[in-house]
C-alpha cells in the first residue's frame, strides 16, 4: 500500500538496481550552459575560435559566489548559443566542436590538501565548479557560505543569526527511489573510499562540522563504507529510500540531528546541518586535491524501454544519452530528474548540465495528466504531507488567491515533494498551486519592500 497509517510521505516501488555504470563517449559537440544550478551565470573568459582542452576554464563566476565552468571535451569554441531552460529562462551557452582527441589538462595535484586554509579550500571548490546536487542545485561554495553566515536572506521570523555547521550528512541514494545514479555510484565506490574520506574531511575542515553522517538506503550493502565510517567515527544511518521523501534534505536533517529544521525558504542548512550527495563530496575531493574540475556527471535514465546509469560529459545532448539507454520508441514526455520532483522539458535537444541527475521518460500512453477537478475534501493529502500541512486547503487558498490565508497556513514551509498530488484522487496539480502561490506572495512582498 502506498499510504501508511503511521508514517507520513508515500511508499514508492524500488527499481531493480542496474549495478553497473556505463560510460558514454565524449560527444562531437558539447553545449555548455553558462548557468549551472541556480545563481548568476558565469562570465566567459575565452573568445570564440579559441582551442580548449578538457578541464580548461571557460567561464568564471563574476561575484565569487557561483562556480566556474570548464571545457568537457577538447576542441574549438565555435559559438555562443541561446539555451532555453525548462523553467522558461534563456541562458547563453558555449559550443565546443570536438577534435576527437580528448586531451586533458595536466592536473595540479596537491597531495596534502588538508593543510590548506579553509578559505583556500573553499576557493578550490568554487574554481572546480562543484555544484550541490539534490533539491536545490546551487554552487557548493555558495551553499557553505550561506550555511555558515546567512546573509541577504529574509527569514520567516526576521532573524539572521549565524549558526555553525555541526553536522554534515552524506546521502548515498537519490531522494526519488526511481533514480539510481547515487545508488550505482555507492555500489561501485570500492576504490573511491579514500576520495570520499578526503572530501568529507575537506568539507569538515571548511565548515568546522563536528559529526559526519552517512545516510544509506537500508538495502545497500556497503562493506567499504562501513569500514570507513568505523575507522573515522562517522555515524551511519540507514533509511528506507522507498519511503519518499525520507531522503530529502529536511527529513535527513531531522534523522541525523533529531530536530526538525524550518523548511520555509529552503533554509534547512541554517540549522547547522549540511546535507550533500555523495557525488558532490567526491567532486569536492577531486577539486581540492587534484584541482580537477567537474566535467562529467552520473545520470540515471529511466524509460519505458531502457534504463541504466551512465557517466557522460557535461554538454552531451540528452538525446545521445537516451539512445544509449536503448530507448527507440516514440516518447511522450521527458522529465529532467525523477518522476516526483523532476521538471518536464519540451525537447531532448538539451545538453547535460550539472543539475540534471536523471532523465525519466514516459511513453505516450503513460502520461498522467492532471484533471484538476475541485477538491473533494478527502484529506489524503493531509495524511501524506511530510511537512504536516493541509495541502488541500492550501491549494484552494492559492487557487482562489487568498494569499494571506495561504501564508498563515505555512505555504512557505512546503517542500514541493509532490506527495499530495501523487495521492490526490481529484487529480489536482497541487504543486503547481503551491509554486504559483509562493511566487505570487514573493513578488508582492518584493514590490512592497
Partner 1 sequence: MTNQRLVVSISPHIKNGRTVRRMIVTTIAALAPAALWGFYQFGLDALALVAVGITAACATEALITRLAKKRSSLGDGHAVLTGLVLALLVPAGVPFWLVIVGAVMAILVGKMPFGPLGGAPIYPALVGLLIVATSWPTEIRSYVQPTTAPVELKVEGAADAETPRDAVFIDPSDEAEYKTADLFLGKQVGPIGAISPLLLLLGGLFLILRRVARWQAPLGFLLGMGLAAGIGHALDPSGCASASFHLFTGSAMFGAFFLCTDWSSTPVTPWGMFLFGLIGGGLAVLLRIAGLPYGAVPWAIVIMSLATPIFDRITPTPFGKVASHA
Looking at beta carbons only, is 214 or 350 nearer to partner 1? 350
Nearer to partner 1, 58 or 255 (CB): 255
Closest CA to 75 of 57, 93, 94, 100: 100
Selected from 10, 165, 168, 170, the binder of partner 1 by CB under 8 A is 10
CB-side neighbour CA atoms (13 Å) of 422: 20
Which of 82, 223, 369, 449: binder of partner 1 (CB under 8 A)? 369
The answer to whether 374 contacts partner 1 (rule: CB under 8 A) is yes
Number of residues counted as binding partner 1 (CB under 8 A): 76
Smallest distance, partner 1 to C-beta of residue 109, A: 41
Q: Which is nearer to partner 1, 104 or 403 (CB)?
A: 403
Nearest residue (CB) to partner 1, 209 versus 340: 340
CB of 150 to partner 1, least distance (A): 15
Beta carbon of residue 181, minimum distance to partner 1 (angstroms, whole number):
18
Q: Which is nearer to partner 1, 114 or 378 (CB)?
A: 378
237 pairs with which residues across the strands? 215
Rounded (10°) angle between helices 193-207 and 140-148: 40
Q: How far is the CB of 298 from partner 1 (least distance, A)?
A: 21
Q: Which residues of 101-137 are buried (b: 16+ CB within 10 A; e: fewer)?
A: eeeebeeeeeeebeebebeebbebbbbbbbbbbbbeb
**Nearer to partner 1 (CB atom), residue 86 or residue 118:** 86
* 335 contributes a contact to partner 1 by CB under 8 A: yes
CB of 339 to partner 1, least distance (A): 4
Task: Provide the CA 150 distance to its chain's centre, in angstroms.
Answer: 21
Residue 187 near partner 1 by CB under 8 A: no
- Using CB under 8 A as the binding rule, whether residue 78 contacts partner 1 is answered as no
Q: Which stretch binds partner 1 (CB under 8 A): 18-26, 48-56, 61-69, 327-335?
A: 327-335
Using CB under 8 A as the binding rule, whether residue 431 contacts partner 1 is answered as yes
**24: contact with partner 1 by CB under 8 A:** no
> Quick check: helix, strand or coil at residue 231?
helix
In this structure, is the dihedral angle defined by the CA atoms of residues 403, 410, 246 and 277, taken in order, positive or negative? positive
At closest approach, how far in Å is the CB of 76 from partner 1?
A: 25
Residue found by looking up cell 562529467 in the block: 296
Q: Across the strands, what pairs with 443?
A: none
Binding to partner 1 (CB under 8 A) within 392-411 occurs at 392-393, 409-410
Strand partners, 83: 91
Among 282, 387, 398, 406, binds partner 1 (CB under 8 A): 387
Nearer to partner 1, 247 or 389 (CB): 389
Our CB check for partner 1 shows the closer of 105 and 417 to be 417
What does the alpha-carbon distance between residue 129 and residue 41 come to, in Å, rounded to a whole number? 12
Binding residues among 300-319 for partner 1 as defined by CB under 8 A: 319
Whose CA is closest to 107, among 357, 292, 364, 309?
292
Residue 368 touching partner 1 (CB under 8 A): yes
Contacts of 400 (CB under 8 A, 6+ apart): none
| Closest distance of CB 201 from partner 1, Å | 29
- Contact letters (x/-) for partner 1, 336-355, by CB under 8 A? -x-xxxxxxxxxxx------
- Calculate the alpha carbon distances from 114 to 143, 199, 347, 369, 407 in Å: 20, 10, 44, 51, 45
Cell 592536473, residue located = 107
Q: Per rule CB under 8 A, is residue 250 in the interface with partner 1?
A: yes
Cis, bond preceding 245 (omega within 30 deg of 0): yes
Range in contact with partner 1 (rule: CB under 8 A) among 59-67, 70-78, 199-207, 323-331: 323-331
Enumerate the β-bridge partners of residue 445.
none
Nearest to 425 by CA among 387, 389, 386, 384: 384
Amino acid at each position: 500500500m502506498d499510504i501508511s497509517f503511521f508514517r507520513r510521505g508515500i511508499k514508492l516501488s524500488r527499481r531493480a538496481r542496474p549495478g553497473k555504470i556505463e560510460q558514454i563517449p565524449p560527444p562531437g559537440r558539447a553545449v555548455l550552459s553558462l548557468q549551472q544550478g541556480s545563481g548568476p551565470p558565469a562570465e566567459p573568459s575565452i573568445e570564440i575560435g579559441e582551442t580548449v582542452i578538457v578541464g580548461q576554464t571557460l567561464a568564471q563566476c563574476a561575484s565569487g559566489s557561483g562556480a566556474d565552468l570548464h571545457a568537457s571535451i577538447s576542441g574549438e569554441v565555435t559559438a555562443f548559443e541561446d539555451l532555453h531552460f525548462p523553467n522558461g529562462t534563456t541562458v547563453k551557452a558555449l559550443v565546443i566542436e570536438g577534435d576527437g582527441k580528448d586531451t586533458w589538462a595536466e592536473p595540479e595535484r596537491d597531495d596534502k590538501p588538508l593543510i590548506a586554509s579553509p578559505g583556500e579550500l573553499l576557493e578550490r571548490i568554487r574554481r572546480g565548479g562543484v555544484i550541490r546536487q539534490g533539491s536545490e542545485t546551487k554552487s557548493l561554495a555558495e551553499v557553505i557560505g550561506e550555511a555558515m553566515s546567512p546573509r541577504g536572506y529574509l527569514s520567516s521570523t526576521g532573524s539572521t543569526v549565524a549558526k555553525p555547521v555541526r553536522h554534515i550528512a552524506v546521502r548515498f541514494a537519490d531522494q526519488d527511489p526511481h533514480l539510481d545514479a547515487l545508488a550505482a555510484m555507492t555500489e561501485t565506490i570500492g576504490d573511491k573510499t579514500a576520495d570520499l574520506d578526503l572530501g568529507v574531511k575537506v568539507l569538515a575542515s571548511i565548515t568546522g562540522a563536528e559529526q559526519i553522517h552517512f545516510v544509506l538506503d537500508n538495502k545497500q550493502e556497503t562493506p567499504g563504507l562501513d569500514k570507513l565510517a568505523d575507522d573515522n567515527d562517522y555515524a551511519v544511518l540507514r533509511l528506507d529510500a522507498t519511503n519518499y521523501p525520507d531522503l530529502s534534505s529536511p527529513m535527513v536533517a531531522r534523522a541525523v540531528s533529531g530536530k526538525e529544521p524550518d523548511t520555509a525558504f529552503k533554509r534547512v542548512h541554517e540549522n547547522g546541518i549540511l546535507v550533500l550527495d555523495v557525488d558532490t563530496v567526491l567532486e569536492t575531493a577531486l577539486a581540492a586535491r587534484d584541482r580537477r574540475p567537474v566535467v562529467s556527471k552520473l545520470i540515471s535514465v529511466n524509460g519505458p524501454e531502457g534504463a541504466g546509469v551512465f557517466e557522460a560529459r557535461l554538454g552531451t545532448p540528452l538525446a545521445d544519452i537516451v539512445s544509449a539507454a536503448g530507448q527507440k520508441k516514440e516518447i511522450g514526455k521527458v522529465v529532467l530528474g525523477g518522476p516526483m520532483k523532476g521538471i518536464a522539458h519540451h525537447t531532448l535537444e538539451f545538453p547535460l548540465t550539472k543539475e540534471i541527475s536523471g532523465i525519466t521518460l514516459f511513453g505516450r500512453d503513460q502520461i498522467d495528466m492532471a484533471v484538476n477537478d475541485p477538491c473533494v475534501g478527502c484529506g489524503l493529502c493531509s495524511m501524506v504531507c511530510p511537512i504536516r500541512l493541509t495541502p488541500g486547503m492550501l491549494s484552494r487558498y492559492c487557487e482562489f488567491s487568498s494569499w494571506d490565508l495561504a501564508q498563515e497556513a505555512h505555504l512557505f514551509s512546503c517542500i514541493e515533494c509532490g506527495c499530495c498530488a501523487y495521492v490526490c484522487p481529484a487529480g489536482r496539480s497541487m504543486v503547481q498551486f503551491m509554486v504559483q502561490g509562493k511566487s505570487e506572495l514573493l513578488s508582492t512582498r518584493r514590490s512592497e519592500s
